[in-house]
Structure 1
Amino acid sequence: MTQAELQEQANKPAHAPGHGATKWQDYFTFNTDHKVIGIQYLVAAFFFFFVGGILATIIRVELATPASDFVSPENYNRIFTMHGTIMIFLWVVPAGTGAFANYLIPLMIGAKDMAFPKLNAVAFWMNAVGGILLLTSFFVGPAEAGWTSYPPLSTIASKAGEAIWILSILIAGTSSILGGLNIGVTILKMRVPGMSLNQMPLFCWSMLATTALQLLATPVLAAALILLSFDLLAGTTFFNPTGGGDPVVYQHMFWFYSHPAVYIMILPFFGAISEVIPVHARKPIFGYRAIAYSSIAISFLGLLVWAHHMFTSGTPGWMRMFFMIASMIIAVPTGIKIFSWLATLWGGKLALESPMLFAMGFISVFVIGGITGVMVASVPFDIHVHDTYFIVAHLHYVLFGGSVLGLYAGFYHWFPKVTGRMYNETLGRMHFVLTFIGFNLTFMPMHELGLLGMNRRIAVYDPKFQALNELATIGAILMDTSIIPFIINVFWSLARGKKAGDNPWRALTLEWMTSSPPAIENFEGVPVLATGPYDYGMGDREYQTYVPLSNEREPALAAGPNSALRADPDPTVAVNPEDRQPKDKS
């Protein structure tokens, strides 16, 4: 592309007038700006997180004593069903694939917006409608068959609540498919001229892998739920053995999506951790290609491990063996990421600010979740602990300890970019300490509960389990308390936080090369990279440069995964001394 073409592209308006947000009311409109949509996703996701968290607290208060003395067993079933559904489909998935991806990807690759802005807005509002619809089921009797909704239980429970549950998940799933399509096309087709795949930030690699799972696995869940709705409402027998159906077929279809869904939830935050650690350790990322390609490997292998959830469902021996081996193999690309992050930390100049604290907390608890994941991949052990609290502990160490801590790391890291203000570091550290201690106090005892034989999804249990359950309930209350400094921090910082400047972390990826918060069109022209995204400590390439479009030379490709584009600067163009920040963070 010639310089004239670059100039023409830069001056071409990407959207009609009125695009973007100039006042707070714009965030409640059908807005096609990817940044507005990202914030809409994030706020909506946190709203559902608070709802799901309230339900989780009710569960833990009920389980503080062996008797059913806080809520009835029927309401307990409804509460844990809605808790799981909300946390997965309306909190973690939209926060990663909706909020973070929408806001960051165009900025990271130098684009003005997503590939399909209107489709992007449609995807958000579909997700919001699906969530509100799910909450309305509380008024007619919510679903009570668990977030897996296995038949025949799901076909004999509350028909109205189950039907609303199915419809809401179908709407949210369609939103996920549309969002995944948009993200994939944006990454593959809209990178700044000259940026190859091997020069993208690792967050983009993670989202590319996530997109593949969204597009391949979500339609299978949609098909399963449509067939289930026919059994529920029309009296068909797709999953009813009395009419020739097979309920195990539903399990296969459900888990073909729902195990890859674990990676849909965790891969975006793998990418966020890969962005946070090198910035706050002031070191180039260790093993760029290994981390990038391991995301693709996780995406591929994630489609081959679904039946390890069904080792107790009468699966034949050869199938058990295949899925046991596949489930253990998928730990390899995950381990590659862990060791690469640790190698990046090793010898780095660590700044123990809130993003780094949450990133290191993420690594520590996710390793525990990964180890227990390998344990339950073994058929004999899985049969022993299946449907016990060991599985509850494993799931939460992966999804809360992994996804949510990763989300908080990314939230604090990009908060200055999104708002233009710095957060309060004291409150951020308080939030981390309370969350980390409360989380481990809640879920670590559940490993022991599971090994001792306490079943999950029950409101009444043997009194011998009470002490550990009381400990878990105390931890849950501590986790609830951790939200208080977080909320105070967000609102105080928005109102009175210190001005952040464009690049307070002295980071090298492109999103930090524009204003904070970014302009409506993101960049004033076509950005040209002067360094790689992780070239920390590389001498005169320590800082990214935003090369002006008046430069008559086209971008020239530099070799190496940690070298992005370099354009020779025009000697007649003066460099702003304020762009040369000191290398020593102290």
Structure 2
Amino acid sequence: MTDTPFDPTPVPPPRNDAYDVAPKGEPDKDFEEIWATPPGARVLSSVSHRVVGKRFLITGFIFFLIAGVLALLVRLQLIVPENTFLDSETYNQVFTMHGTIMMFLFAIPMLEGFAVYLIPLMIGARDLVFPRLGAFGYYCYLFGGIIVLSSFIFDAAPAGGWFMYVPLSTSQYTEGLSADFWLIGITLAEIASVTAAVEIIAAILCSRAPGMSLTKMPILMWYLLVTAFMIAIGFPPLIIGSILLEAERLLGLPFFDISVGGDPLLWQHLFWLFGHPEVYIIFLPAAGMVATMLPVFVGKPLFGYGFAVAAVVTMGFLSFGLWAHHMFATGLPVMSLSLFSAASTMVAVPTGVQIFCFIATLSLARPRLTVPMLFILGFLFIFVLGGLTGVMLAAVPFNLQAHDSYFVVAHLHYVLIGGFVFPMFAALYYWVPHFTGRMMSDTLGKWAFWLMFGGFNLAFFMMHLTGLRGMPRRIATYPEGIGWDRLNMLSTIGAFILAAGVAVFIWDFFRHQRKGRAAGRDPWGAATLEWLYPTNAPGYNFRAIPEIRSREPLWDQPELTQGDPAQIDGALRAYPDHRRETIGSDPVSGAPIQILRLPHPTWMPLVSAFGLAVLFAATLASLYWLSAIGALVALAGLTGWVWEPSDSGVTRDIGIRDGLRLPVNAVSRSSHLHVGTVGTILILFALYASLLFAGLYLWNVKPNFAEATQRPAQTFALLSFGLAVVMFALSWMAGRTALLQGPRALGLVANVLLALTVLGLGLCLFLALLPVDPYSTAFAAVGWAIGAFVGALLAVTLYWSLFNALRKLVGAVRPGQGLPDLLLGSFGKATATMAAMTALAYLVAGSPQ
């Protein structure tokens, strides 16, 4: 069956009810008040994408500076042989924290900051579709980073490398809390990444300006969309791996204990299932920013738009097929080595297509050598060199020789610094006028570029040579007279020159806020919508949302650039309901299909994130009573977050064109809330698949331990499967009732029956696992982990169904407001599917061998 089509001419509900109150007073003043940022301390409750995006960028840059100082300490230690500047343990902590901060607390959050800030501006929206989710993600990231950095205060900084390999990071070899700070802090910070993925997917697909089809999107939106899907699939393996390792350290569950069927290589597989796609997760948004800026300074559209999009999508797929690129020296079978080597080489093809598109764009006209353009050229030079050494490392024989040497360190930094840091500085110089309304100095910018470019190449090119001369990575000192002395000294000098370039940028940034010239409207002559208004644009982005007919609207639609931008004709100029609103679009065509009513500022994201931070930090300190309080605070915050009158079920004329009527927050599978729910389900399936991968891996490499594991109770496993089928049917019924706008009583019955079924299913899964001792083998521990994960999803479904039922009982839901049940239906079907798969797995595990 298909969704019921929306009738464009229904009779609207009365306009004088509690949900739709027309404002009084001066129209423009009222409109500005609707979108105003809360003053004073209340700014912490702001959910504006501009505010949240700036927070991500500022916090990420601060972490970048901290990591940079740690890198300089590493280089000071290695400047001369047999140096005693740092002892071995401190050195291990310093390089571990340097890598951890750069990879987890700087690179990904910075790209999230750019995405959160730029997406609404570039696609013609007034804000992100889930503003509160963005604010919640930022606070999770901030608290997670604080937990990681606080390890220095407690003299418990992690020292096992930014990849935290086991068994080194197990409690047997790393006592105390150092590894726990890493595992718990990074897991909390990663919540921000997966929430950002949902936010980006839903915003790009569901809130574009009228007429902006997928083929008319700015190229950066394609890069961010593919990156968001990669985050949704790639980050869950690390989250699962971190939880399993912390459970082993905290509870003694033997996931990686070789004596009872565990395997240390399981951690490497889970880590690199995240770690290698992360390289492209970092690179792709940076390349997207280059693809956005490059045409501006050339004065021509991007060459090969379609080829670039195809290359990005291809890279997104290929990046998940080469995680063992980092495991060539671990004893993998020869066939596996060949396949992963081929995949590692193949990924160079879509990368090369993008680079050729950039070079071809440069050939269209003579570029203006502005400061952002210099950083773009630096990116092209450095990243291509890093790609060449990447192809070298894809060859297994060479990789075995260069593995864990400084050649790999050099390659990593050429790819990541060249592929992200240089585009990031180009983007900062390019979009800083949006943040401050002023232009940074051209002269100081060129000094910053040449210092950074020269210092980087001096520092890291020499590391190729030290690596080829046999210098291993992660050593605190080295003997004199073996050919590494001068090369290390040059690398250290280059690192300080690079740091001097960063210092010039910081000086220029603070100086330009007082002395920089005013930027004005579209100071670079750009073609994308974020420059439609002057750089001190109002918080609502667009007074009226224009119709888009081109990929370069500011170049091809003169009506947008002539006259006062506040007078541009477009959608939602009227705001009779006195609410924050933007246009909701069809995910493919960009045609308007609904009005998205956006939430107002609230403290609930901060409260929810704070509760989670207390939960994680108290677990780290073994204060479990405080962990319970933190969980309750988080639950209360999330409940207050969503306990508001629903805005669906309203229809009105919004003046896009004569006679057009659109629903508010449409009850449809194309709505932003449903797309966001599907994105969340994708993340949950990736988490579940990571646990299944762990079980299948141990079953394959440790078959004797798998056979020796106690069997689940088959009777209860069979009952679980049956109840999962019933749960799927009830979830489907709840969703269909919502789509067809069925009676509220029918939805209430579906909610109650679903809650009862979930209770029974959870109990049967528990009884099926009861005969299995989770401490007996690693295979048994993974079985319990899968059951615990499904149990957590069942608990969410139970809470959600009771929540919806309670709202119906107290009259907080009006006729036609079926979105909560539609979303619950999709979530329930996904949970039922995972529960059925788990029950089948228990049936197979419990059958006679």
Report the CA distance shift for 1:26/1:61 in structure 2 as closer, same or farther (over 3 A): farther
* Cα shift readout 1:421-477 (whole Å, capped 9, x = no counterpart): 111111111110000000001000001111111000001223221110000000011
- Is 1:164 the equivalent of 2:181? yes
Query: 1:419 corresponds to which residue?
Result: 436
TM alignment of 1:496-507, pairs within 5 A:
496-507=515-526
Query: 2:158 corresponds to which residue?
Result: 143
Query: 1:276 corresponds to which residue?
Result: 293
- Higher mean Cα deviation, 17-26 or 399-408? 17-26
* Cα shift readout 1:260-291 (whole Å, capped 9, x = no counterpart): 11111111101100011100111111000111
Q: CA deviation at 1:226?
A: 0.7
- Is 1:92 the equivalent of 2:107? yes
Within the candidate set 50, 55, 58, 2:70 is matched to 55
Query: 1:396 corresponds to which residue?
Result: 413
Query: 1:80 corresponds to which residue?
Result: 95
Q: CA deviation at 1:349?
A: 2.9
The DSSP-based 3-state class of the residue aligned with 1:332 is: helix
Q: CA deviation at 1:21?
A: 3.9
Report the CA distance shift for 1:342/1:544 in structure 2 as closer, same or farther (over 3 A): farther
Q: CA deviation at 1:104?
A: 0.4
Q: Distance in 2 between matches of 1:14 and 1:239?
A: 60
Report the CA distance shift for 1:496/1:20 in structure 2 as closer, same or farther (over 3 A): farther
- Is 1:475 the equivalent of 2:494? yes
The DSSP-based 3-state class of the residue aligned with 2:492 is: helix
Query: 1:579 corresponds to which residue?
Result: none
Tell me, yes or no, if the aligned pair for 2:311 and 2:353 is still in contact at 8 Å.
yes
Q: CA deviation at 1:517?
A: 2.8
Q: Distance in 2 between matches of 1:204 and 1:13?
A: 32
Query: 2:811 corresponds to which residue?
Result: none
Within the candidate set 346, 350, 356, 2:363 is matched to 346
Report the CA distance shift for 1:119/1:142 in structure 2 as closer, same or farther (over 3 A): same
Q: Distance in 2 between matches of 1:177 and 1:407?
A: 21
- Is 1:117 the equivalent of 2:141? no
> Where does structure 1 lack aligned partners over 5 or more consecutive residues?
553-563, 571-586
TM-score, normalised with respect to structure 2: 0.62
* Cα shift readout 1:231-253 (whole Å, capped 9, x = no counterpart): 22222221121221001111000
Report the CA distance shift for 1:348/1:511 in structure 2 as closer, same or farther (over 3 A): same
* Cα shift readout 1:560-581 (whole Å, capped 9, x = no counterpart): xxxx99xxxx9xxxxxxxxxxx
Q: Distance in 2 between matches of 1:221 and 1:170?
A: 8
* Cα shift readout 1:489-548 (whole Å, capped 9, x = no counterpart): 111111221111120111110111123133111001112235432896x7x979866683
Report the CA distance shift for 1:14/1:288 in structure 2 as closer, same or farther (over 3 A): farther
- Is 1:519 the equivalent of 2:533? no
Tell me, yes or no, if the aligned pair for 1:231 and 1:237 is still in contact at 8 Å.
yes
Q: CA deviation at 1:163?
A: 0.5
Within the candidate set 506, 510, 513, 1:491 is matched to 510
Report the CA distance shift for 1:157/1:17 in structure 2 as closer, same or farther (over 3 A): farther
Amino-acid identity (%): 40
Q: Distance in 2 between matches of 1:81 and 1:529?
A: 48
Query: 2:191 corresponds to which residue?
Result: 174
- Is 1:245 the equivalent of 2:262? yes
Please tell me the residue identity of whatever aligns with 1:70.
F
Q: CA deviation at 1:551?
A: 10
Q: Distance in 1 between matches of 2:498 and 2:133?
A: 37
- Higher mean Cα deviation, 342-351 or 106-115? 342-351
Report the CA distance shift for 1:551/1:372 in structure 2 as closer, same or farther (over 3 A): closer
Query: 1:38 corresponds to which residue?
Result: 53
Q: Distance in 1 between matches of 2:341 and 2:291?
A: 29
Q: Distance in 1 between matches of 2:291 and 2:36?
A: 29
- Higher mean Cα deviation, 335-344 or 65-74? 65-74
Q: Distance in 1 between matches of 2:391 and 2:479?
A: 29
Query: 2:140 corresponds to which residue?
Result: 126
Tell me, yes or no, if the aligned pair for 1:324 and 1:377 is still in contact at 8 Å.
yes
Within the candidate set 561, 569, 580, 1:549 is matched to 569
The DSSP-based 3-state class of the residue aligned with 1:159 is: coil
Query: 1:582 corresponds to which residue?
Result: none
Q: Distance in 2 between matches of 1:14 and 1:73?
A: 62
TM alignment of 1:249-260, pairs within 5 A:
249-260=266-277
Query: 2:806 corresponds to which residue?
Result: none
Q: Whose radius of gyration is greater, 1 or 2?
A: 2
Query: 1:198 corresponds to which residue?
Result: 215
Tell me, yes or no, if the aligned pair for 1:159 and 1:232 is still in contact at 8 Å.
no
Report the CA distance shift for 1:492/1:324 in structure 2 as closer, same or farther (over 3 A): same
Please tell me the residue identity of whatever aligns with 1:89.
F
Query: 1:577 corresponds to which residue?
Result: none
Report the CA distance shift for 1:39/1:20 in structure 2 as closer, same or farther (over 3 A): farther
TM-score, normalised with respect to structure 1: 0.89
In the alignment of these two chains, the number of paired residues is 549
Within the candidate set 78, 81, 84, 1:69 is matched to 84
Tell me, yes or no, if the aligned pair for 1:14 and 1:521 is still in contact at 8 Å.
no
- Higher mean Cα deviation, 543-552 or 121-130? 543-552
